[in-house]
Amino acid sequence: METAFDEAAYAPLENISEPKWWTGTPAIDPSLFVIDAQEFRSGISPLTPSVSLEKRMGEVFDQVGLVHIINTGLTDLESMRLVATQVLKTTRKYEGGANPRKSLQKNVYEVGAPLDAWLHYHHEMAYIGSSTKMLGFLAYKVPSEGGETFVSDNVQVTNDLLATPFGQKLKEKGLCYHRNLTDREQFKDQLDIGVYNHWQQSMLTEDPDEAIAEARKRGLLAEWGENGLLKTRYYISAFEYFPGLDKNLLYSSMADDSTWFDTWPMVQHLAPDERPLKLTYGDDSELTESEKQQFLNVYDRYGIPIRWSVGDIALICNYRFAHGRPAVHLKGGEHRELGVLIGDAFDRVEHRDGKW
């Protein structure tokens, strides 16, 4: 006998903290990072890779850590990828990640999140020992309204947060990332109620031993729980040393806490302790609600919108910027699809003394 889906039972909990994303004024003047591709195109022909384009992209990225290329005339992911990889030269597989991303083509991934959920500001793959230096976004399909990606200037964020008692507490205690990854076999013929990501998809293997090995390779403490649940913990500094500025930068956010799921369909109804992610201090003590709100607010104060048109390409330094987006509400027949490139890997070194 079929059981009717009770929509009310999966309604969001009250008292959620909604991001504001920005102040209404970009934290960095867009003229410093936007490149108009018309300068590098031949007439009405779509943009193609070139030495001059690569030079301009590289200069802007080195100076700002952010590049947004507009008016490319491109409509397919492969052509966009060829332009992006003039600077994002090394791409990697999305291994050990938390988001349930699917591959659109080789080493080009979907965003991996429902459109009606907001995605808090975050640094990609901050919750594992092998992170990524940069990201690329390829605008393949965009809605007529909304759908922006926001980035937050992490240099200003870091300076702001370190001037507060909460920032000093993060500096002293560090953080622990807790993740619970479900077993896909436990959810055959069921709605993915309360599911964020299965370990098979996160670790890119069907073998339990390989999954544990992959988790540990990423610096995670890993063990099996009930019903095939892969439980991981990762103890790390809240900051990461960035050689480019010879400075420690904030490298964490509320995106890796249960707060991430406040608007996530089929998960938002769960109590915070029952959700797939949780963030605590490095001594396993809890963050207060006030501290969590400060963590959200500081990124919002330095936000910058990236408004997409089809063919746009953005490159983002994962040290110097966090990224996220509000919920996206599509009109009939519209789509939003961004290709994601994961850049060169680096092993987390945490913060360095004297580099504050």
- Candidates 325, 345, 237, 242; CA nearest to 282 is 237
Pairing of strands 175-181, 277-281: antiparallel
**pLDDT tens string 211-238:** 999 988 888 899 998 888 899 999 999 9
Examine residue 241 and state whether it is found in any structural domain, yes or no: yes
Residue 228 to residue 226: CA distance in whole angstroms: 6
Q: 219 vs 190, which has greater pLDDT?
A: 219
Pairing of strands 66-70, 34-36: parallel
| pLDDT of the residue at 343 | 93
Query: In percent, how much of the chain has pLDDT > 90?
Result: 65
**pLDDT tens string 300-353:** 999 999 999 999 999 999 999 999 999 889 999 999 999 999 999 999 999 999
Give yes or no for a contact between 181 and 202, defined as CB atoms under 8 angstroms apart: yes
CATH code for the domain in which residue 177 is found: 3.60.130.10
Burial of 237 (0-12, 13-18, 19+ CB in 10 A): buried
| pLDDT of the residue at 184 | 86
Question: For the CA atoms of the chain, what is the radius of gyration?
Answer: 20
Cα–Cα distance list, 13 to 29, 161, 251 (Å)? 37, 28, 28
| pLDDT of the residue at 262 | 80
Q: Which domain range does residue 324 map to? A: 23-347
DSSP letter for each residue of 2-14: -----GGGGPPPS
Q: Average of pLDDT values for 55-75?
A: 98
Report the predicted TM-score, pTM, of the whole model to 2 decimal places. Answer: 0.86
Domain count of the chain? Answer: 1
- What is the distance, to the nearest Å, from the Cα of residue 153 to the centroid of all Cα atoms in its chain? 14
| pLDDT of the residue at 15 | 54
Calculate the average pLDDT of the chain. 87
Examine residue 4 and state whether it is found in any structural domain, yes or no: no
User: Other C-beta atoms within 10 Å of 186: how many?
Assistant: 13
